Copies of this chain bind each other. A is one copy, B any other.
Amino acid sequence: MLGVCYYPEHWPEDWWADDATAMRAAGITYVRIAEFAWSRIEPEPGRFDWAWLDRAIGVLGGAGLRVVMCTPTATPPKWLIDREPSILPTDENGRTRGFGSRRHTGFSSEAWIRESRRITEAVAGRYGDNQAVAGWQIDNEFGCHDTVLSYGPEDLRAFQAWLGRRYGSIGRLNEAWGTVFWSAELRSFAEVSLPVGAVTETAPAARMDFRRFSSDQVRAYCRMQADILRAHSPGRFVTHNFMGRFTGFDHHAVGEELDFATWDSYPLGFTDQFPFGDAERAPFIETGHPDMAAFHHDLYRGIGRGRFWIMEQQPGPVNWADWNPVPKPGMVRLWTWEAFAHGAEVVSYFRWRQCPFAQEQMHAGLHRPNRSVSAGGKEALQVAAELRSAGTLPASTQAPVALVFDYEAAWMLDIQPQGKDFNYIEMCFRWYEMARRLGQDVDIVASGASLAGYRTVLAPTLPHLSEAGLAALSATEATVLIGPRTGSRSVDFSIPDGLPPGPLRSMLPMQVVDVGSLRPGLSHPVTGKFAGRAIRWREWIETDADVTARFHDGSPAVVEGGRYVYLACWPDAALLEAALRHVLPAGGLGLTELPAGVRLRHRGELCFAFNYGPEPWTLPDHLVRTLVMGHPVVEPQDFACWRVAV
């Protein structure tokens, strides 16, 4: 189903009815509203103006649209900030981050939590049982603009309290943080300071706890709103729209507070920002990288425990990347269908109409500011028609490949990269990309979640391997490819007693005795079962297990123990491909040879092929017979869909 983001407050009231009618005519089911409307809802302290919003919901609901109602907490109004300046967050230099844009709020501000409760109660009370309201979006894009971490006095007090709960005694904290190291031993929790602004780096365990604390604050804030909404609005779903490429808080944890996940898909913006090399990005500047949206679909399907929407789908150029190209013709349709192929229940475009004023005036919509239909709008209409003929799509089923993704891993490697280019999300993306280039469907799952039923499991790295994470890896019957640094840290960010890979040594009898980061230009060749080169990171291993590939100096590069395969480096593309060409078939999976820009994805008995590349791709003959959508020759920016035996 399709949805759209709409801002009645941005348009003359006499446009609303036409807009609502046009939405329905365009095949749109859901309309999201009001996430930035606080100053209209409560124009003065305590004086609520519901009338306009009542009418807007009335018009939309009356047209048969189902409303996704939002809490407006991403943008508290100026009068509130002036009354309660402690709401404002503090940056890492100790400066207050001011009013004038959005997310000017700290998750540990008591005034902010109190005011958030108040406005959530008000909105939920007003619309909780409104028939047009299908469900709720809490706030908007937690963490956007680096807003998870705040460094003010209330943040410190909340952190001290959190540490008190975590450690019980200051002695236990001193031990966990290793404060003896630089004479940083503390006598009480009140002596704790924020791990920022010091002369050089602060203790990694302290920084890690600050990340955990900050993530917990996001979750608590989300739960606070969810509880209110569920109390006032029974039978409606509660969700949040996550962003792409964010690792600032544990999305798996926040996802547990929601009925399903939604995310905001901007393939061109993310492709502009991702650390691709220039040559690699070039062919995909105007299409998005072929794994960019897909990676997030598979990630958020996991975070939503199988259920997700696209709450904001890029419908044309955006305004916030360094460069903002126009998508190539067909891409808006392709992205939409790709989301469905990956299991999205709803794709909701951001936004119905480009706003001619304010910060996002260069962000396209389905309509232009002059009410004409945009290029993306026309593609959305085509999708709507195609959806009608396609009928109900089959349910998504578990993929054969799992990639283990862990937000704590992202924080640990951010705190301690040890080599400047050791970037966690890039690493996971590379592994994901290679699996998909070989034709695989991939589930991205949390560390600790069950790995039952998978044929091959990819664990690019899990520096702290939790007990649950270890248990899942132990229990799976899949072939498991494990990357470097796995098991290299305790929960307290220290090196495990028996050296890395720590608890993994129960499956792989080995010790990592040395590690080195490799500057760009430096690489170490690997030969054996897999060949290629180590870049960025390499380990030295002592082991009695099978060594199936070695570095040029004879030291183990790949260690195997039963179905566990350990790769002792950041692999270049050749080595990564060689590794996957081994572990996927070892799990019983067939590989498909695809051009660089083509990707496959199954949804139930349907298989889709999406062509991001510059050349047409011809379907193998045997697939043509079951073609459901598209043509035997899949043109650039087009897709095909056929039925397969399940």
A282 to chain B, nearest CB (A): 5
In the complex, whether A166 has a CB less than 8 A from a CB of chain B is: no
A191 to B358, CA, bound (A): 18
Chain A, 514-535, contact with B by CB distance < 8 Å: what is the 0/1 string? Answer: 1111111110000000000000
In the complex, whether A567 has a CB less than 8 A from a CB of chain B is: no
Query: Which stretch (A20-28, A259-267, A318-326) binds chain B?
Result: A318-326
Whether B495 lies near A361 (C-beta < 8 A) is yes
Whether B78 lies near A186 (C-beta < 8 A) is yes
A179 to B101, CA, bound (A): 10
If the complex has contacts A10-B180, A100-B202, A499-B370, are A185 and B317 also in contact, measured as CB distance less than 8 A? no
If the complex has contacts A200-B102, A519-B285, are A420 and B323 also in contact, measured as CB distance less than 8 A? yes
Whether B499 lies near A100 (C-beta < 8 A) is no
Instruction: Kindly report how many copies of this chain are found in the complex they form together.
Output: 3
Q: Across the interface, name the chain B residue whose C-beta is closest to A206.
A: B100
Whether B199 lies near A147 (C-beta < 8 A) is yes
In the complex, whether A94 has a CB less than 8 A from a CB of chain B is: yes
| Residues 298 to 335 of chain A near chain B (Cβ within 8 Å) | 316-317, 319, 322-326, 329
Whether B89 lies near A326 (C-beta < 8 A) is no
A497 to chain B, nearest CB (A): 6
- A394: chain B residues at CB < 8 Å are none
If the complex has contacts A178-B358, A182-B101, are A197 and B95 also in contact, measured as CB distance less than 8 A? yes
If the complex has contacts A10-B181, A359-B204, A522-B285, are A99 and B198 also in contact, measured as CB distance less than 8 A? yes
Among A79, A145, A323, A325, the most chain B Cβ lie within 10 Å of the Cβ of A323
A157 to chain B, nearest CB (A): 16
In the complex, whether A184 has a CB less than 8 A from a CB of chain B is: yes
If the complex has contacts A75-B184, A185-B40, A326-B540, are A359 and B201 also in contact, measured as CB distance less than 8 A? yes
In the complex, whether A604 has a CB less than 8 A from a CB of chain B is: no
Whether B518 lies near A323 (C-beta < 8 A) is yes
Whether A181 lies near B493 (C-beta < 8 A) is no
Chain A, 180-194, contact with B by CB distance < 8 Å: what is the 0/1 string? Answer: 111111110001010
A218 to chain B, nearest CB (A): 15
Whether B77 lies near A200 (C-beta < 8 A) is no
7 residue pairs, one from A and one from B, having the closest CB atoms = A178-B357, A181-B358, A100-B198, A178-B358, A75-B183, A326-B516, A356-B495
A99 to B322, CA, bound (A): 36
- A205: chain B residues at CB < 8 Å are 357-358
Q: A326-B540, A356-B494 are in contact. List 9 more A-B contacts (CB 8 A).
A: A38-B183, A77-B184, A98-B196, A100-B184, A104-B199, A179-B358, A362-B418, A368-B499, A370-B497
Q: Across the interface, name the chain B residue whose C-beta is closest to A499.
A: B370
If the complex has contacts A317-B516, A357-B494, are A198 and B418 also in contact, measured as CB distance less than 8 A? no
- A147: chain B residues at CB < 8 Å are 199
A199 to B81, CA, bound (A): 14
Q: What are 6 A-B pairs with beta-carbon distances under 8 A?
A: A78-B193, A203-B358, A316-B514, A325-B519, A357-B493, A357-B495
Chain A, 34-59, contact with B by CB distance < 8 Å: what is the 0/1 string? Answer: 00111110011000000000000000
Q: Across the interface, name the chain B residue whose C-beta is closest to A553.
A: B329
In the complex, whether A369 has a CB less than 8 A from a CB of chain B is: yes
A282 to B520, CA, bound (A): 9
Whether A319 lies near B184 (C-beta < 8 A) is no
In the complex, whether A448 has a CB less than 8 A from a CB of chain B is: no
Whether A103 lies near B200 (C-beta < 8 A) is yes
- A492: chain B residues at CB < 8 Å are 357
In the complex, whether A435 has a CB less than 8 A from a CB of chain B is: no
Whether A99 lies near B193 (C-beta < 8 A) is yes
Whether A40 lies near B180 (C-beta < 8 A) is yes
Among A199, A522, A540, the most chain B Cβ lie within 10 Å of the Cβ of A199
Among A76, A202, A325, A518, the most chain B Cβ lie within 10 Å of the Cβ of A325
Chain A, 141-179, contact with B by CB distance < 8 Å: what is the 0/1 string? Answer: 000110100000000000000000000000000000111
If the complex has contacts A9-B180, A370-B497, A519-B323, are A98 and B193 also in contact, measured as CB distance less than 8 A? yes
In the complex, whether A498 has a CB less than 8 A from a CB of chain B is: yes
Whether B94 lies near A95 (C-beta < 8 A) is yes
